[in-house]
Amino acid sequence: MNQSNSALRPILLYAVIPAVAALLSVQLACDKIMFWRKGPQPMESASNVPASEGTVKATLGDNGNTNLALRVKHLAPPFKLQADATVYVVWLQQQDQPKQNIGALTLNKNLEGSLDIVTPFRRFSITVTPEPGGQVDQPSHEAVFTASVDRKD
């Protein structure tokens, strides 16, 4: 039996080395994906704004807060989607909580907009809706962008 065990060692060695190398390759690929995820993540755009693009980036801020950077481009003026809309409002919602208006997203002449805010939350969803004004306390129209945010430090 000793001879058969010694005969198996080279075979096991040749099988284990490639397996370990494959696992290391997978780990490196996952690390690259996680690095990319630390950058801006795409927001999901609604079917009525198919050419629009949106991203959201959540990073660690002072005192453990979350710095949130939202960017959009190719987004139609709000009145083109809803006749009474004058601005896009960004909503933050924690699980099982009502949506909170966290600011207005205005577009420049190139149909690009941005909003930078600080929030104490790490995990939440973001929604962007066309609204009649920036001070509304609940959405009155369907979302043009949505995203789930889970800040990874």
In angstroms, the CA 139 to CA 126 distance is 12
For 57, the 3-state DSSP assignment is: strand
Closest CA to 139 of 46, 68, 53, 58: 46
For position 37, what pLDDT does the model report?
47
For position 69, what pLDDT does the model report?
96
- 53: tokens are 């693009």
Closest CA to 54 of 149, 139, 122, 153: 149
pLDDT string in tens for the chain (153-residue length): 556 566 656 655 565 555 555 554 544 444 434 334 468 999 999 998 989 999 999 999 999 999 999 999 999 999 999 999 999 999 999 999 999 999 999 899 999 999 999 999 999 999 999 999 999 999 999 999 999 999 987
Residues 136, 91 contacting (CB under 8 angstroms): no
DSSP 107: B
Give me the residue spans of the domains in the chain.
1-37, 41-150
For position 39, what pLDDT does the model report?
80
Residue 96 CB neighbour total at 10 angstroms: 5
Q: How far is Cα of residue 23 from the mean position of the Cα atoms in its chain?
A: 28
Please say whether the structural domain 41-150 has been given the CATH code 3.40.50.300.
Answer: no
DSSP 62: G
**77 residue type, one letter:** P
Cβ-count burial of 71 within 10 angstroms (0-12 exposed, 13-18 middle, 19+ buried)? middle
